[in-house]
Homo-oligomer: A and B are copies of this chain.
Amino acid sequence: MHPILIRNNVKILGEGSQVIVFAHGFGCGQSSWKYITNAFLEDYRVVLFDYVGSGNSDINQYDYHKYSTLEGYACDVIDIIDALGLKEIIFVGHSVSSMIGMIAALQRPDAFKQLVFIGPSPKYLNDRDYIGGFEAKDIETIFTNIAEDYVGWARAISPVVMDKAEKPELSDFLLECFEATNLSIALAFAMATFKADYRKQLKDLEIPSLTLQSSNDIMAPQTAGEYIHHNTPNNFLVVMKATGHFPHISEPEETIREIKDFIGNKKLSQSEDQLFV
């Protein structure tokens, strides 16, 4: 098999000629999509994968230098696009994968048709009047906590970012994902994520994109989603009823509905105001 398909643990599921690639975020693997992918199998060719260092990828091919920036992760996406000969895909990225998808789309615009950002942020650090939600000291604390007690940190953060107290099994699932990730790689991925600043690139993204913004997300506050919406041509913003940073896990039905609504192009004629619910 093409070595990329093994390296990135690529799966192909579903029917139809339109491809949807689902790209997981920090601390997860493709299993994080399991609550929503079934809804797409009947009408779409679904491609799942794990970034090198995540999930069941080939960890031996992990490279600390390459994956010290989101451009390194975007290389994984482009490698998969080339290995499978993908064109005009719909790319659904969660969290940091939103900007990874944007980077890949700017490098290979012919390969992308639409982008869906779930809980995106162009920059996690606050910067004068830009509110990313984190001060430098907050991020340093996160790095220290990951380095000194990764599992303890993961145990503390999982219920907070899931924000679905009535279903503790969901934050337990997320914790299992975190725990399955190599500590050093998790730290390096966190560093690549939190130092990122892709605000300037947003203006160059011309294909239609959707920002799915949770109502209460401590990782990606609404100010971050709104920044993307206001600075990206053809970006649509939906503020979901879902709370937390993992709406595709905590509120799969709402997430499925919003993705399908967008990729079916029903939103293209809506005004911005209507999209704020």
Chain A positions near chain B (C-beta within 8 angstroms): 1-3, 5-6, 9-13, 15, 17, 19, 45, 47, 56, 83-87
Contact = CB atoms under 8 A, between A and B. Distances in A.
Contact of A5 (B3, B6, B84): B84
B56 A2 contact: no
Given A11-B12, A12-B12, A6 B17 contact: yes
Given A1-B85, A5-B12, A13-B13, 19 more contacts: A1-B17, A1-B19, A1-B45, A1-B47, A1-B84, A1-B86, A2-B85, A3-B85, A5-B45, A5-B84, A5-B85, A6-B17, A6-B45, A9-B15, A10-B12, A11-B12, A11-B13, A12-B12, A83-B85
The 4 closest A-B pairs by CB, nearest first: A2-B85, A12-B12, A1-B19, A6-B17
A127 to B, nearest CB: 39
A15 B87 CA distance: 25
18 contacts: A1-B17, A1-B45, A1-B84, A1-B85, A1-B86, A2-B84, A2-B85, A3-B85, A5-B12, A5-B45, A5-B84, A5-B85, A6-B17, A10-B12, A12-B12, A13-B13, A15-B56, A83-B85
A84 to B, nearest CB: 6
A225 to B, nearest CB: 30
Nearest to A45: B1
A45 B2 CA distance: 12
Contacts of A11: 12-13
Contacts of A47: 1
A2 B9 CA distance: 18
Contacts of A10: 12
A188 to B, nearest CB: 24
Contacts of A56: 15
A45 to B, nearest CB: 6
A43 B242 CA distance: 37
A15 B6 CA distance: 8
A246 to B, nearest CB: 24
Contacts of A45: 1, 5-6
A56 B41 CA distance: 13
Nearest to A6: B17
Contacts of A86: 1
Instruction: Give the most central of A12, A45, A56: most B CB within 10 Å.
Output: A12
A62 to B, nearest CB: 16
Nearest to A85: B2
